[in-house]
Structure formats: structure tokens, C-alpha cells
């Protein structure tokens, strides 16, 4: 009987050791994908099951969560816009212009918070706000960050229906934290100079 107890104890130790070392029972790290473009001047890493679009429509990159594929309803997303600037611009000036443009263009705009932040080791400015999306008649909460590199300005915005925003916030912050600036030629200025 003593020998059976020792055998059972040894087996339990091996199983527990395997679990502690990352064997059975530990979830695998989620797969990720990185979009990187030297000409556009940025890179962003996101879950590989998210849908990626680089089709334009005023954005350089849009990523949509795997559970948001129905285009007939408002879809949560993260959008990156890179734009050429007519001259080198201080970060504060670029961010202030973008905040003003957002406030003037959205229905029921409400500022929630704004301030300095770091993104990918770079100084940035943040803005969290809500508004009503007129196409889907839904309240949306967005987190935006603004960065400048030479004659390039970058806006990265994470958007979710307000009811889903609390559940998305941590993942959005994680993805926004992977944004980094790359070298390369300046993005051409927008035709309207904005």
C-alpha cells in the first residue's frame, strides 16, 4: 500500500509539473498579424481573426473584430489615417485641429476625456468621445490618438457602439499600444490641404 501511495504521488507531481510548465489546460496565445507600410509610415499589430481592409474611404487601414462581420449594423472597428501635412506641425497644433474637426462633424458630439499619452514610445494626444452615428442611429464611443512625425500626421481611432465599448476597451487599448511609426517618404498632402 505504501508503494501505491508513492506511485500516485509521483504521478501527480509529474502532471502538476507539466501543467505549471504550460502544458495541458493553458490557452495558447492568440495569433496576431502586423500591418506595416514604410510609405504610409506606420505599423499596427492586431488579432489575426480580425478583418483587415486597406480599401481607402479616407483611411489607410481598418480592422474589424471577428464577431462584427454583419455590414447591415454598426460595426466596431479601429481605423488608421495617415496624412501628409503642408509643413512640419507641432503635435499640440495637429491634435487641436483634429479635435476641432471631430467636434464640428459629428452629431451629438460629447467629449469624455483628452490629454497626453505615449503610443509605441512616441508622444501622442488622446481623445475619448461619444456621438450618434446617423446611418445606424446608434450611440458610439471612440478613443482616438494623434501623432506627428515630420510632415506626417496620424490619427488612430477605436470605435464601438457605446453599449459594447466597456467590453472592447481593454482590447482596443492593447491594439492601440502596438501602433508604431516607421520611416519612409512623407505621405502626400490631402487634396483639400486638411
pLDDT tens-digit profile of 43-73? 999 999 999 999 777 899 999 999 998 999 9
> Do residues 35 and 52 lie in contact, with contact meaning Cβ atoms separated by under 8 Å?
yes
- In this prediction, residue 6 has a pLDDT band, given cuts at 50, 70 and 90, of very low
β partners of residue 35: 44
From first CA to last CA, the distance across the chain in angstroms is: 83
| DSSP code at position 76 | -
Q: What is the rounded distance in angstroms from the CA atom of residue 69 to the CA atom of residue 76? A: 9
Q: Please state the pTM of the whole predicted model.
A: 0.80
Q: What is the mean pLDDT of residues 74-87?
A: 96
Comparing C-alpha atoms, which of 65, 67, 69, 70 is closest to residue 46? 65
Cell 492601440 identifies what position? 176
Class of 31-181 per CATH? alpha beta
Predicted confidence (pLDDT) at residue 187 exceeds the cutoff of 60: no
User: Quick one: CA dihedral 37, 60, 71, 66, positive or negative?
Assistant: positive
pLDDT of residue 8: 35
Domain locations along the chain: 1-29, 31-181
User: What average pLDDT does the chain have?
Assistant: 84
Q: How many CB atoms lie within 10 A of CB 186?
A: 16
Amino acid at each position: 500500500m505504501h508503494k501505491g501511495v508513492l506511485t500516485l504521488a509521483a504521478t501527480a507531481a509529474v502532471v502538476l509539473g507539466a501543467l505549471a510548465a504550460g502544458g495541458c489546460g493553458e490557452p495558447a496565445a492568440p495569433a496576431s498579424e502586423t500591418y506595416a507600410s514604410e510609405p504610409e509610415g506606420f505599423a499596427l499589430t492586431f488579432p489575426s481573426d480580425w478583418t483587415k481592409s486597406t480599401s481607402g474611404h479616407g483611411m489607410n487601414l481598418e480592422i474589424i473584430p471577428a464577431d462584427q462581420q454583419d455590414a447591415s449594423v454598426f460595426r466596431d472597428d479601429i481605423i488608421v489615417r495617415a496624412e501628409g501635412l503642408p509643413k512640419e506641425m507641432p503635435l499640440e497644433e495637429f491634435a487641436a485641429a483634429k479635435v476641432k474637426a471631430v467636434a464640428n462633424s459629428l452629431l451629438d458630439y460629447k467629449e469624455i476625456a483628452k490629454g497626453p499619452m505615449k503610443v509605441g514610445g512616441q508622444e501622442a494626444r488622446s481623445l475619448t468621445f461619444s456621438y450618434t452615428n446617423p446611418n445606424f442611429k446608434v450611440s458610439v464611443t471612440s478613443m482616438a490618438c494623434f501623432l506627428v512625425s515630420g510632415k506626417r500626421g496620424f490619427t488612430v481611432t477605436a470605435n464601438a457602439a457605446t453599449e459594447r465599448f466597456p467590453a472592447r476597451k481593454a482590447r482596443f487599448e492593447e491594439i492601440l499600444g502596438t501602433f508604431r511609426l516607421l520611416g519612409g517618404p512623407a505621405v502626400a498632402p490631402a487634396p483639400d490641404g486638411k
